[in-house]
Structure 1
Amino acid sequence: MDGLASLLDGARARGAFLLRSILTPPWSLRIQDRAPLTLVSVVRNEAWVVPDTGEAMRLRPGDVAVIRGPAPYTVADDPATPPRVVIHPGQHCTTPEGESLSEAMALGLRTWGDTLDAPDGSVTMFTGTYQLDGEVSGRLLRALPMLLVLPADAWDSSLLPLLDEELGRDAPGQEALLDRLLDLLLTAVLRAWFSRPEAEVPGWYRAHGDPVVGPALRFLHEDPAHPWTVATLAARAGLSRATLARRFTELVGEPPMTYLTGLRLSLAADLLREPDATVAAVARRVGYGSAFALSAAFKREKGISPQEHRAVVQG
């Protein structure tokens, strides 16, 4: 498993929020839905993404913004335009004063805004939102800045036109199809982003290309439940324990077994979202000998028990 595949393992949209918006200037949307991850792309004209802290970034046609929650932010025709619509959890929209706009701005199938005529100057954009923490792994979220924008000229993909076309269809299995398209779009955007010099990728991601550490990382990701030790991992990679431990810590930023613990607990957190998964079953799948052992490690690392975590992610 390569670095990007392991990073995205666990990004699985399930009934994701996908919407085409058509808005006439001046417009401004205050987003406070607390979603873990959102993608925004402009199809026509321009928009600005304005975080509460940090630099506002312009979106031109074909650009894609990836926005990491849950902090609120604004999307507008201009950074100076005051919010006119507020998006709350559950994608409920209101005026800043609290008056509901959900019905007034509905324009048809997965389309929303203030006009269907799309006059000159109006913006057309689409939004794809992972709505639950369990849909995106914590490891992925920690690898991303609060806001990144991939310019249209930095990648070449047919996914944006395809997604725009599929948003307007109402056919059997359409929701599942759109979920997978959103996952594909996220994968393609991040693959292009992580190849850019301005991307601050995590050390372990870069380490996947290292001839010493790369094989060891792949072994851990391919079989995290194996009873690994530094000695067995080094032997499998054809290295001495000292060489592996030193090089791994230098590139990844933590020792091999510390990294493995984090990987196992991240996987456990995702697996606990499955309604029928018991703590004991998850423990076996991620390499812990018992439910008690997983619970102790989980609470030590995350501050809550696996049961408490599941209650949160399942609502």
Structure 2
Amino acid sequence: MDLLEDYLAGVRAHGAVFCQSVAEPPWAVRYADPAPLALGAMLRGESWIVRDGTAPVQVGERGVVLVRGLRPFTVADRPGTEPQVVIDGEESCWTTVGASGAAGPELVVGPRTYGFSADGSDLFVTAEYPLRGDVSERLLRALPEVAVIPPDPEFAPLLDLLAVEIGRDEPGQQVILDRLLDLLLVRALRSWFARPDVEAPPGYRALADPRIGRALRLMHERPAHPWTVAALGTEVGMSRAVFARRFAELVGQPPLVYLTEWRMTVAADLLRKPGTTVAAVARRVGYADGFAFSNAFKRVRGMPPSELVRSAR
């Protein structure tokens, strides 16, 4: 596995809501209780993302947008349009402003499609990803609150297929749509982090280097292995000194500092699982005893692992 695969491990769209949001402008849909990461694609027309407390951001036709964080936001034909529909965070649950309950018949215009008309001029597709834990948090920290990926010819086949599949109601249809959105999420993240003006997650761009990229993959695949700088250098065909220097240049940290932080990130997620013990987690991330692990965890995370276990319970 590589960094992006680790960050997205277990992340899957499930029962994504597809919104054909309007017949003609003016229109606006408010997301009152968003997930930590939301993906949107403007299949037809143009829209604005209005995040509470931030400046509006435009999304062009065939553009993709990633919205990070839990603060509400509105998707509209223009920034000043008042929302006619509010999504309250429950799956497929729509309410008109000032009312409550599930979507009325007037808002259901097709299979998995909600809005004001079946032949509306604008079509905005959304999916929410309930990213949780410290591993995914490394990815979220590298994203701005709103990241707009302009139209890209490489996205065209996925967007075209989404547009076709939305209107179908056949066995397994929701699975197909969810998987298409998963593919679009990965492609959007890759496109965003490829931009030279964007700060990628630690080590992400170093994956392009054949040797340092391999060392990073080894650390992520086998965090419990007793890695040393010399052993990693040998694995990738470099001397200890050259490897250490090149790794620090590309990643921004010495190899063992990066490895320790990654181990503690993995450990934090493991410690939150029911029934876990500090000793078991210590072994999973390469420590022979809980005492040494506890010292390392407290040094990196600022709290003993036992405190995290208690708070998770």
TM-score band (shorter)? 0.7 to 0.9
Shift of 1:134: 5.5
Deviates further, 177-186 or 100-109: 100-109
Equivalent pairs counted in the alignment come to 306
Q: Report the AA paired with residue 201 of structure 1.
A: A
Structure 1 unmatched ranges of 5 or more: none
When residues 170 and 154 of structure 1 are mapped into structure 2, their CA distance, relative to the original with a 3 A threshold, is closer
Q: Report the AA paired with residue 126 of structure 2.
A: T
Q: Which residue of 2 aligns with 1:141?
A: 140
* Secondary structure of the structure 1 residue equivalent to 2:204: helix
Residue 249 of structure 1 pairs with residue 248 of structure 2? yes
Shift of 1:292: 7.1
Mapped partners of 1:197, 1:154: distance in 2 = 19
Q: Is the 8 A contact 1:295 1:306 kept in 2?
A: no
Shift of 1:203: 4.8
Q: Which residue of 1 aligns with 2:116?
A: 114
Q: Is the 8 A contact 2:138 2:201 kept in 1?
A: no
Q: Which residue of 1 aligns with 2:265?
A: 266
Q: Is the 8 A contact 2:13 2:128 kept in 1?
A: no
Q: Report the AA paired with residue 63 of structure 1.
A: G
Mapped partners of 1:101, 1:2: distance in 2 = 43
Mapped partners of 2:271, 2:166: distance in 1 = 31
Mapped partners of 2:164, 2:274: distance in 1 = 33
Matches for 1:1-315 after TM superposition, within 5 Å: 1=1, 4-6=4-6, 8-10=7-9, 12-13=11-12, 15-24=14-23, 25-91=25-91, 92-97=93-98, 99-100=99-100, 102-104=102-104, 105-118=107-120, 122-133=121-132, 137-153=136-152, 155-210=154-209, 213-269=212-268, 283-289=282-288, 301=301, 305-307=307-309
Shift of 1:55: 3.9
Deviations 1:34-77 (A, max 9, x none): 41111111122211112234442222321111111223222111
Q: Report the AA paired with residue 29 of structure 2.
A: L
Q: Is the 8 A contact 1:21 1:125 kept in 2?
A: yes
Deviates further, 174-183 or 284-293: 284-293
Q: Report the AA paired with residue 195 of structure 1.
A: A
Mapped partners of 1:95, 1:308: distance in 2 = 41
Deviates further, 69-78 or 156-165: 156-165
When residues 280 and 246 of structure 1 are mapped into structure 2, their CA distance, relative to the original with a 3 A threshold, is same
When residues 20 and 82 of structure 1 are mapped into structure 2, their CA distance, relative to the original with a 3 A threshold, is closer
* Secondary structure of the structure 1 residue equivalent to 2:152: helix
Shift of 1:296: 6.6
Shift of 1:229: 2.5
Shift of 1:238: 3.7
* Secondary structure of the structure 2 residue equivalent to 1:158: helix
Shift of 1:175: 4.0
Q: Report the AA paired with residue 131 of structure 1.
A: P
Q: Report the AA paired with residue 180 of structure 2.
A: L
When residues 169 and 265 of structure 1 are mapped into structure 2, their CA distance, relative to the original with a 3 A threshold, is farther
Structure 2 unmatched ranges of 5 or more: none
Mapped partners of 1:51, 1:81: distance in 2 = 13
Q: Is the 8 A contact 1:11 1:183 kept in 2?
A: no
* Secondary structure of the structure 2 residue equivalent to 1:107: strand
Q: Is the 8 A contact 2:134 2:266 kept in 1?
A: no
CA RMSD of aligned residues (A): 3.4
Mapped partners of 1:179, 1:298: distance in 2 = 37
Mapped partners of 1:136, 1:178: distance in 2 = 26
Q: Report the AA paired with residue 209 of structure 1.
A: A
Q: Is the 8 A contact 1:10 1:270 kept in 2?
A: no
Mapped partners of 2:268, 2:17: distance in 1 = 25
Q: Report the AA paired with residue 158 of structure 1.
A: P
Shift of 1:11: 5.3
When residues 209 and 265 of structure 1 are mapped into structure 2, their CA distance, relative to the original with a 3 A threshold, is same
Q: Is the 8 A contact 1:19 1:110 kept in 2?
A: yes
TM-score (normalised: structure 2): 0.80
Shift of 1:78: 0.3
Mapped partners of 2:177, 2:275: distance in 1 = 25
Mapped partners of 1:149, 1:23: distance in 2 = 21
Mapped partners of 1:146, 1:110: distance in 2 = 27
* Secondary structure of the structure 2 residue equivalent to 1:12: coil
